[in-house]
Amino acid sequence: MGAGGRMQVSPPSKKSETDTIKRVPCETPPFTVGELKKAIPPHCFKRSIPRSFSYLIWDIIIASCFYYVATTYFPLLPHPLSYFAWPLYWACQGCVLTGVWVIAHECGHHAFSDYQWLDDTVGLIFHSFLLVPYFSWKYSHRRHHSNTGSLERDEVFVPKKKSDIKWYGKYLNNPLGRTVMLTVQFTLGWPLYLAFNVSGRPYDGGFACHFHPNAPIYNDRERLQIYISDAGILAVCYGLFRYAAAQGVASMVCFYGVPLLIVNGFLVLITYLQHTHPSLPHYDSSEWDWLRGALATVDRDYGILNKVFHNITDTHVAHHLFSTMPHYHAMEATKAIKPILGEYYQFDGTPVVKAMWREAKECIYVEPDRQGEKKGVFWYNNKL
């Protein structure tokens, strides 16, 4: 544990909850992005088409095996056993498809290969399969990476100021209210964000929808590709319609719908915990800069799921610093930059469910720093 009790990379089991919620530095770091890059072995920035495809193909094989087992053997199970078999299938398939989602997300960062057209082709196919508008998400997510930690310009999970909390907010700050809010967030949060920009940055001058080519999220050069994203979604929806017509709606829901809900839930959970933590600062325009914003993220530990999710969970700080780096080099890069980052590296090994509940309880709104002179630095609070 470093000076002031801030988070270092000691084993999670040796951390106390009190340690992990100490505020991290918000001053301009004593290092540059260039210095961080020099510390990383050069091969970590190299993208390999065979290696990138190997992870994607492996995920597809595993998902196909789960589908084959479910379609072939589940109908043969005695009735009571199906109540155990289906939830197991949903959980396993949802986790593996989340890994596919992560690889498609890497395509949007141009981290899959050296060829933009190949990245966009792979990303479009597999994000569309998971009902994600590829180019729409690619552009809004890129702006998130360009403006992380900014109260005015970040794209998603932008915290509210106390003055913006609705009158009914205090009635939700209790166990029942938090349970309801988390349930809605992890089941409907992703489609609500895509369709209505819920929890996203407020926009003036139009309907901020990821499916709308003329949405204010996009500039004129990007609008044609939003149509392509919509075409991909429509093609998959038509395929699902034909499948439901042939096999039944129940079959489509069981084999595809429920695992997709789990993918969406994991997506929201992962991104929520990466950017929401009592120790993380946010900045207004008087204090924000790209490096401090990129460092205002936290790595988490999901156990074996770290590997299933291609380490997007426990290498997120490095990902925000070098988003074109392939996931299979991110762990090595993280280890290389930790000595330089020092107290600026943020890791929390709190069990995920416990962390989710704590963050929902503690991180209600942000307010200006009261302990220092940086009025443009904001910290989470929950006193309503």
Residue at 186 is within a domain: yes
Q: How many residues can be counted in the chain? A: 384
Neighbours of 72 (CB within 10 A): 9
The Cα angle at residue 338 between residues 335 and 341, in degrees rounded to 5: 155
Q: Is residue 15 part of a domain?
A: no
pLDDT of residue 372: 65
Residue 364 lies in a domain: yes
- pLDDT score of 56: 98
Contacts for 147 with CB less than 8 Å, ≥ 6 apart: 153, 154, 155, 293
Domains held by the chain: number: 1
* Residue 178 is assigned to a structural domain of this protein: yes
Specify the pLDDT at position 379.
95
Tell me how far apart the alpha carbons of residues 153 and 200 are, in angstroms, rounded to a whole number.
10
291 occurs within a structural domain: no
Which residues have CB under 8 Å from 223's CB, separation 6+?
Answer: 213, 214
* Residue 78 within any structural domain of the chain: yes
d(CA 9, CA 265): 27
13, part of any domain? no
Pairing of strands 365-368, 377-381: antiparallel
Query: Quick one: pLDDT at residue 173?
Result: 87
List the chain residues with pLDDT less than 50. 1-20
323 belongs to a structural domain: no
Residue 372: give the domain boundaries. Answer: 48-283+354-381
- Give per-residue pLDDT as tens, 172-181: 889 999 999 9
